[in-house]
Amino acid sequence: MSARTKARKRALDILYGADLREISLNSAIAAESERASHEPARQESWRYALQIVTGITEHGDEIDELIETYAQGWTIDRMPVLDRALVRIGIWEIMFNDEVPDAVAISEAVKLAEELSTDDSAGFVNGLLGRIAQLRA
C-alpha cells in the first residue's frame, strides 16, 4: 500500500472521528499530531494526511458548497459520516492538489468507499467526484 493511500486512510480517520465526536478539525489535527510524533515510522503518511486535513479546513466552505450543489438529492447532513469525509478528501485532491490526477483521487475514494462504507456508497462517491472533476475540464 502506498504512503499516499495510507495517508488518505489517516485523513479519513481524522475527519470521521472529528465529525462523530463533534470536535473541531483543528482539535483532531492537534491530537493526531501528538500521536504521530511518537510514531516516526509513519511520518511519510502523516505529512500527506496533515496536508489533506489542513487543506479541507482551509477550503471547507468551498468544498461543502460543491457537495451541496452536485450531490443530487443529498444534503451534507443526510450523508453517512464516512461518505461525507470521503468526498471531502476527494474534492480537496481534485480541486486543490494538482499533484494528484483526478482519476487517482476518484479511484482512491471509491476504493475506500467499497471497503469501508455501504453497498451504495461507491457509486455515490464515484458519481459525485466525477461531476466535480468535470468542472476542471
Q: Is the dihedral of CA 9, 2, 115, 120 positive or negative?
A: positive
Domain that holds residue 113: 3-136
- Comparing CA positions, the residue from 92, 88, 129, 85 lying closest to residue 107 is 129
pLDDT band at 36 (very low <50, low <70, confident <90, very high): confident
- Comparing CA positions, the residue from 136, 34, 10 lying closest to residue 85 is 10
Helix or strand or coil: residue 63?
helix
> Domain tally for the chain?
1
Of the given ranges (6-15, 20-29, 36-45), which has the lowest mean pLDDT? 36-45
| pLDDT tens digits, 12-27 | 999 999 999 999 999 9
The answer to whether the beta carbons of residues 83 and 117 sit under 8 Å apart is: yes
Of the given ranges (13-27, 42-56, 96-110), which has the lowest mean pLDDT? 42-56
Share of the chain above pLDDT 90, in %: 80
The CATH number that applies at residue 8 is 1.10.940.10
Q: Can you give the pLDDT at residue 48?
A: 94
**Cell numbers placing 26:** 483543528
